[in-house]
Amino acid sequence: MRFQDVIGHHELGAKLRAGAKAGRVAHAQLFHGPEGSGGIALALAYARYLHCTQPTDDDSCGQCSSCKQYEVLQHPDLHWSFPFFKKDGTEQALSQPFQSAWRERLLKHAYFGQTEWLESIAADRKQLFIGVQEAMELNRKLGLKAFAGGWKILILWLPEAMRVDTANKMLKLIEEPTDRTVMLFVSENSNQLLATIRSRVQAIPVPRIESNVAIQGLQLHFGIEEKRAKETVRLTNGNLAEALRIIESGESNDDHRLFTQWMRSCYVQDTVTMVELAEDFAKPGREGMKQFLRYALRMIRECILGNYGASSLIRLTEEELEFAKKFAPFIHHGNLLELCELLESAHRDIAGNVNGKIVFMDLSARVNILLRKAG
């Protein structure tokens, strides 16, 4: 990850490089912005620039031994920390057992969010955190001499996951930094950070990427075709982590197909098709069924927004928009609340392991009645 690989934020990149060239490097910096804005990408490009032995005004060189080490994320003076869980059978809660999963995740690309990280480490429903033992380990690591004799850099993702005692331990590092140490915190919810930390770091806002820049970025850096890039950026408001999540799952088209067929069959009470669709619904497993129900809920809400003249709020693909226009008249204040409650309760049933086909058939019968209710 060099500055040329970072999507958008060109001015911010130039400012960071100019500061580095002039020797103005704050030892604790907070890159903060919403998910999918590229905070990790920027921090990584900046760290690489600081470590590069031949940097130009525009970027790290890409050739020196330090740059080569960054290519595989194996620089001895670049340290990472992030939220994790305590592995069964381990004595201390340290990020060490998760470092290779982290490298692997990051080598895919730097535009991921907490959802992807949870999947990467198979955390399921475990609570992730950065604990006090991890903070002590970071104190130790940053207290050592730099291997290459230059900067020692820590990139810590989601400092808001630090508990109070952890944050207090980190404060010591922030207030009394060891020589040539740079700490880059990358936050998605900096308002959850302790004020004592927030007031002692240099804040660097990393705003949401503008839509046209995000669309270009998806095409250029991820090889996504223009139509798909436009659709997902519109859907996600330029949150690249979410956009890539949708693109990589490839499931949204299936959800849309199932939803449209389902709504039609509910409206005309076509039970044969409903039974067939119940099979399709149950096929992808519990997580897939939950995702579909969330999708259905969103679509129904979007229809009512369209109904009531707030069409600028609608975030739909072209296909979905076409369907929503035809379907919107059937959603109104006389049935909206009940429809949403039905979908939410179906979601709870699926999460609670009730048979998917039964949930779907029951839901279909109730939706049929509600869709026929006059507005």
The binding site for Zn ion (CB under 5 A) comprises 52, 60-61, 64, 67
Nearer to Zn ion by Cβ, of 42 and 282: the residue is: 42
- Residue 23 Ramachandran class (φ > 0 left, ψ -120 to 50 alpha, else beta): left
By C-beta, is 53 or 271 nearer to Zn ion? 53
CB of 62 to Zn ion, least distance (A): 6
Please, what is the minimum distance in Å from the beta carbon of residue 59 to Zn ion? Answer: 9
Task: Please state the φ and ψ torsions of residue 202, each to the nearest 5 degrees.
Answer: -85, 120
Contact (Cβ atoms closer than 8 angstroms) between residue 84 and residue 128:
yes
Taking the complex as a whole, the smallest distance from the CB of residue 154 to Zn ion amounts, in Å, to: 20
Between 71 and 210, name the residue whose CB sits nearer to Zn ion.
71
Closest distance between Zn ion and the C-beta of residue 61, in Å?
A: 4
List, in sequence order, the alpha helices (H) in 80-225: 99-108, 114-120, 132-143, 164-175, 195-198, 211-222
Minimum distance of Zn ion from residue 17's CB (angstroms): 13
360-368 long-range Cβ contacts below 8 angstroms, 24+ apart: 360/274, 360/277, 360/278, 360/281, 360/282, 361/274, 361/275, 361/278, 364/262, 364/265, 364/266, 364/274, 364/277, 364/278, 366/342, 367/263, 367/266, 367/339, 367/342, 368/266, 368/267, 368/269
Pick the closer one to Zn ion by CB: 49 or 185. 49
Return the sign of the alpha-carbon dihedral for residues 106, 109, 113, 114.
Answer: negative
Helices (H) and strands (E) in the chain, counts: 17, 5
Q: Which is nearer to Zn ion, 62 or 207 (CB)?
A: 62
Q: In what order do the strands lie in the sheet with 181-187?
A: 78-81, 152-157, 181-187, 28-32, 202-205
CB closer to Zn ion, 62 vs 284: 62
Smallest gap from Cβ 151 to Zn ion, in A, equals 13
CA atoms within 13 A on the CB side of 311: 8
User: Which lies closer to Zn ion via its Cβ, residue 25 or residue 213?
Assistant: 25
Shortest distance, CB of residue 48 to Zn ion, whole angstroms?
Answer: 7
Residues with Cβ within 8 Å of residue 177, at least 6 apart in sequence = 27, 28, 142, 183
Tokens 């809400």 -> residue: 301
Write down the least CB distance from residue 148 to Zn ion, Å.
12
The answer for 62, left when phi > 0, alpha when psi is -120 to 50, beta otherwise, is: left
Please identify, using beta-carbon distances, which residue of 61 and 340 lies nearer to Zn ion: 61
Residue whose CB is less far from Zn ion, 61 or 171: 61
Residue 31: beta bridge partners?
Answer: 186, 204
The token duo for 23 is 């020797």
Beta partners for residue 152, in sequence order? 181
Q: How far is the CB of 126 from Zn ion (least distance, A)?
A: 38
